[in-house]
Amino acid sequence: MTTSNQIREPVVSGAFYPAEPDKIIKTIQDYFKKCSAPQIEGEIVGLIAPHAGYVFSGQAAAEAFKQIEHKPYNTVVVIAPSHFDHISGISVYDGKAYKTPLGEIPVDNELTRNLIMQGRFFHASTLGHQQEHSLEVQLPFLQYALDDFSLVPIAISDLDWEICEDLANALNTIIKNRSTLIVASSDLSHYHSDKQARILDQIIIDSVKKNDPEGLYQALRNRSCEACGGAAIVSMMLTTRLMGAMNSTVLRYMTSGDVSLDRYQVVGYLSAAFWK
């Protein structure tokens, strides 16, 4: 269990993204300038963003975060997969703050405490947070795009419908009357040829376009497609639907091959927005 005064220090700055604040800002500014997706006019309550190194997935991520630039969110919930720790249920980081080279983001301890009290799936833990990159890499984009906001950091391992549904119900209950953004952190297929990756990833893209978390869950369960953050995406889609977001827009799809020009083993990256 974490303690209220604990600060989660950055662990992948200098690797997945620059370590120096000015270089982070310049990198994100450059990506934002290249964004091409039309601006969504509705109220965005959910995003999908990839979590690879910025050099590979930064442009796809920027398309998502550009959509919410300077929007007045009080709270951002980031749901991310755990690549190193196996988590039984849902790991909620309840320390004081998450830190990046751009500064500290305060954890919303009122909301994290309320989440942890929701039932058997929720627990305060550093599992999925200590050495994990999937949540951390989203934060400099959020810090650049938004003004003041607090964070609810959530890590999840298992693609289990009951867990995803409980997380959605709990989040919808505790964030009522707050301006809240839900971010699902996920890459898509891994290490297939570019051609095969696009076939697999299209299944996820189609589910996102239809705003169909049930269909996406089934496709992931039967291995018709791949997403390391599949549980995070399903949970976010269920949550935002409860929040009234019936619209979804795919903002950008690309593979690592678009950057590296290696088409033999690629990773797929998707950004999308859910809005009302």
Please, what sign has the CA dihedral across residues 101, 134, 65, 46? negative
Contact 97, 106 (CB under 8 A): yes
Of 214, 252, 247, nearest to 233 by C-alpha is 214
Distance of CA 208 to the CA centre of its chain: 14
Distance between CA atoms of residues 224 and 245, nearest Å: 26
Contact 248, 215 (CB under 8 A): no
Q: What is the pLDDT of residues 180-221, one digit of tens each?
A: 999 999 999 999 999 999 999 999 999 999 999 999 999 999
Contact 211, 176 (CB under 8 A): no
Q: What is the pLDDT of residues 36-74, one digit of tens each?
A: 999 999 999 999 999 999 999 999 999 999 999 999 999
Distance between CA atoms of residues 133 and 82, nearest Å: 9
Contact 235, 274 (CB under 8 A): no
Distance between CA atoms of residues 29 and 190, nearest Å: 28
**CATH hierarchy code of domain 7-275:** 3.40.830.10
Give the residue extent of every domain in the chain. 7-275
pLDDT number for residue 120 = 80
Buried residues in 185-209 as b, exposed as e (16+ CB within 10 A): bbbbbeebebeebbebbebbbebbe
What pTM was estimated for this model as a whole? 0.97
pLDDT tens, per residue, the chain with 276 residues? 555 689 999 999 999 999 999 999 999 999 999 999 999 999 999 999 999 999 999 999 999 999 999 999 999 999 999 999 999 999 999 999 999 999 999 999 999 999 999 878 999 999 999 999 999 999 999 999 998 999 999 999 999 999 999 999 999 999 988 899 999 999 999 999 999 999 999 999 999 999 999 999 999 999 999 999 999 999 999 999 999 999 999 999 999 999 999 999 999 999 999 999
